[in-house]
Amino acid sequence: MHRLCPTLARPGSCDGAGPAPLENIAATPPHERTGRSRTDLGHRAHVRAPEPHQDCGDGTVKIDEATPRMTKAVAFLATRDPPRCRRFYTETLGLRCLDEDDFALVFDAHGTKLRVRKVDELVPLPHTVFGLEVDDIEASVDTLLAQGVVARRYPHVEQDARGIWTAPSGVRVFWFPDPDGNLLSLSTSE
């Protein structure tokens, strides 16, 4: 894992020549930042592929000034049953519902916005789509199991009686579906 150069150095150096000027990316429309027309941007209007990062040799990387400065992450899921989804994420997982409109429910997932889109049809993906880290996985899993959450078990991994798998790295993971079948996980860091 690389760290960002603490100086956000100017192009061509990571020598602490001073911080790069930060432009107000949010105030500049994507087509003006990239020089491409609005229609050329299509669905990628909010994402620009980063320029190659330069390794500074000290475990940090310099990011080109043209690369957007990301400030927060947003996670996305879908639901066919918004009232049931809202109950599950607030009452079972303990997330705070920040907003609900005709299109989605938005939860605060411990500092990350979780936007759950309201849909008519949903085919759940076969892999984990959202996870939360916990300090005490046994206590957290016991709480979920007591609320009727069912562990997802896999024949190719050894899970304990609760359904917790211990990875070779020491990370412990518990998989479970939400009411729509979206596969979620609880894990420890190490």
Show pLDDT as tens, one digit a residue, over the chain (190 residues): 334 434 333 333 334 443 333 333 344 444 444 444 444 444 333 444 444 556 667 777 666 667 777 788 899 999 999 999 999 999 999 999 999 999 999 999 999 999 999 999 999 999 999 999 999 999 999 999 999 999 999 999 999 999 999 999 999 999 999 999 999 999 998 6
Check: pTM over 0.85? Answer yes or no. Answer: no
CATH 3.10.180.10 domain range(s) in the chain: 74-187
CB-CB neighbours of 7 under 10 Å: 17
For the chain, strand residue ranges (E) read 3-4, 54-55, 60-62, 74-79, 96-100, 104-109, 112-118, 130-133, 164-166, 172-177, 183-187
Judge: domain 74-187, CATH 3.10.180.10.
Answer: yes
Q: How many CA atoms lie within 13 A of 75 on its CB side?
A: 16
Q: What are phi and psi of 185, to 5 degrees?
A: -145, 155
Q: What is the pLDDT of residue 71?
A: 82
